[in-house]
Amino acid sequence: MAEFTMELNDEQKEVRDWIHGFAADVVRPAAAEWDEREETPWPVIQEAAKIGLYSLDFYAQQFFDPTGLGIPMTMEELFWGDAGIALSIVGTGLAAVGVLANGTEEQIGTWVPQMYGDANDVKVAAFCSSEPDAGSDVASMRTRAVYDEAKDEWVLNGTKTWATNGGIANVHVVVAVVDPELGSKGHASFIVPPNTPGLSQGQKFKKHGIRASHTAEVVLEDVRVPGHCLLGGKGKLDERLARAREKAKAGGERVKNAAMATFEASRPAVGAMAVGTARAAYEEALEYATTREQFGRPIIDNQGVAFQLADMRTQIDAARLLVWRASWMATTGKPFTSAEGSMSKLFASETAKKVTAQAIQILGGNGFTREYPVERMHRDAAIYTIFEGTSEIQRLVIARTLSGMPIR
């Protein structure tokens, strides 16, 4: 088991610097354009694919880094470049994690490569869980999956929302209800292969931030998928449902569902995204404060500015510590006994909102214009306290974990 350390090894430093170079040289120069266009930056994704940054092999290497720091390091550097473009590059990863967390070895080997394609034919994937009436309240999910035993097919009907790459994805991973009586315990995840009839894109959302990332509804109308597209297989599902029914009879409480397994695995990574955005805004503010002069001296000479920058840096470093701890714990199999994953996501996302707002304040009127990137960073940072569990949900998870009480 790898010991926890804040010191990257030489190989990790080399990878970090490589990603940072791509973020600085390719992502940042394109950030403002794709934010304005509000379109998926396919040319940038293709450039990432050409150098191996957008590939199954690269993310597998980082995912299986024994220290647990590969993924958060990658996320921080990419999102330091630009959150919208970075999310277009890494958005496929959430669907891939869904398969890795719940699928068989055969399913992983079959479907994850198809999520990425290759440098000559780039593909993306989508993880579809949230619904118009069921975001954090996963027990209210209405999308149904009914098994047609005669044909060994599952029939999916419903509407998903807030799906990154929804509708434009090559592969969709869809969470659906298979046993309504079990609430959130009666869910399962399904692969919807490319060009499956009945799946279509609904509304594409025009967003406040991360505008280079495609977000849309996914409509499922009598979508039929083969039995082998049920992640984990039917035998495993039947066993899990049987245990859930027994626990329900006995008054048991906790059975993990497929969507929650994916979110638990990804929350520290979202925290790392937030750290990257916060760090970018801090660096812009620091450079501005040391070069902008008022009353004959740099504005950083004023305590009001200097103390803000001190707080910003302290909060960013604290957020990174929480993210790295949670990532290391997840990789080394240590349980989140105090909801450390949710802690990392909560603190890092709140830090990103606060730091980007402070950066605008330090830049003054310039910070409020699109001539400077901190305005975009602040808009982007708003998503971190919302997606993959709002800050309120993170606090609820932490409180319930610490108290053992069903706080509502």
| Residue 116 lies inside a defined structural domain of this protein | yes
Residue 356: predicted pLDDT = 98
Residue 255: predicted pLDDT = 43
Residue 248: predicted pLDDT = 72
Q: What is the pLDDT of residues 183-222, one digit of tens each?
A: 888 999 999 999 999 999 999 999 999 999 999 999 999 9
At 27, is the pLDDT very low, low, confident or very high (cuts 50, 70, 90)?
A: very high
Residue ending a domain, among 233, 250, 267, is 250
Percent of the chain with pLDDT over 70: 95
> Per-residue pLDDT averaged across 264-277, rounded?
89
> Per-residue pLDDT averaged across 221-232, rounded?
97
pLDDT at 230 over 60: yes
Residue 365: predicted pLDDT = 96
Q: What is the pLDDT of residues 295-309, one digit of tens each?
A: 999 999 999 999 999
Angle formed at CA 92 by CA 73 and CA 271, multiple of 5 degrees: 35
What range does the domain containing 129 cover? Answer: 125-250
| Residue 5 lies inside a defined structural domain of this protein | no
Same domain flag for 279 and 392: yes
Same domain flag for 211 and 174: yes
Residue 264: predicted pLDDT = 61
Q: Do the Cβ atoms of 197 and 236 come closer than 8 Å?
A: no
Same domain flag for 281 and 262: yes
| Residue 322 lies inside a defined structural domain of this protein | yes
Same domain flag for 245 and 329: no
Same domain flag for 116 and 93: yes
Q: Do the Cβ atoms of 136 and 189 come closer than 8 Å?
A: no
Residue 263: predicted pLDDT = 60
Q: Do the Cβ atoms of 131 and 220 come closer than 8 Å?
A: no
Q: Do the Cβ atoms of 73 and 15 come closer than 8 Å?
A: yes
> Per-residue pLDDT averaged across 126-142, rounded?
83
The two beta strands, 215-226 and 199-204, are: antiparallel
> Which residues make Cβ contacts (< 8 Å) with residue 100, sequence separation at least 6?
63, 108, 112, 265
The average confidence (pLDDT) of the chain is 92
pLDDT at 261 over 60: no
Lowest mean pLDDT among 61-65, 307-311, 318-322: 61-65
User: What are residue 27's DSSP bridge partners?
Assistant: none
Same domain flag for 276 and 386: yes
> Per-residue pLDDT averaged across 94-112, rounded?
92
Phi, psi of 200 (to 5 degrees): -145, 160
CATH number, domain with residue 382: 1.20.140.10
> Per-residue pLDDT averaged across 322-350, rounded?
93
* Domain count across the chain: 3
Residue 407: predicted pLDDT = 74
Residue 375: predicted pLDDT = 98
Residue 152: predicted pLDDT = 96
Q: What type of residue sits at position 252?
A: G
Same domain flag for 157 and 214: yes
Residue 244: predicted pLDDT = 85
At 245, is the pLDDT very low, low, confident or very high (cuts 50, 70, 90)?
A: confident
Decide: helix, strand or coil at residue 342: helix
CATH number, domain with residue 50: 1.10.540.10
Distances (CA, A) of 87 to 106, 115, 143: 27, 15, 26
Query: Please, is 165 exposed, middle or buried when counting C-beta atoms within 10 Å of its C-beta (0-12, 13-18, 19+)?
Result: buried
> Which residues make Cβ contacts (< 8 Å) with residue 273, sequence separation at least 6?
75, 76, 79, 83, 86, 87, 90, 384
Q: What type of residue sits at position 34?
A: W
Q: Taken in order 27, 28, 30, 33, is the CA torsion positive or negative?
A: positive
Q: Which residues are catalytic?
A: 388
> Per-residue pLDDT averaged across 363-382, rounded?
97
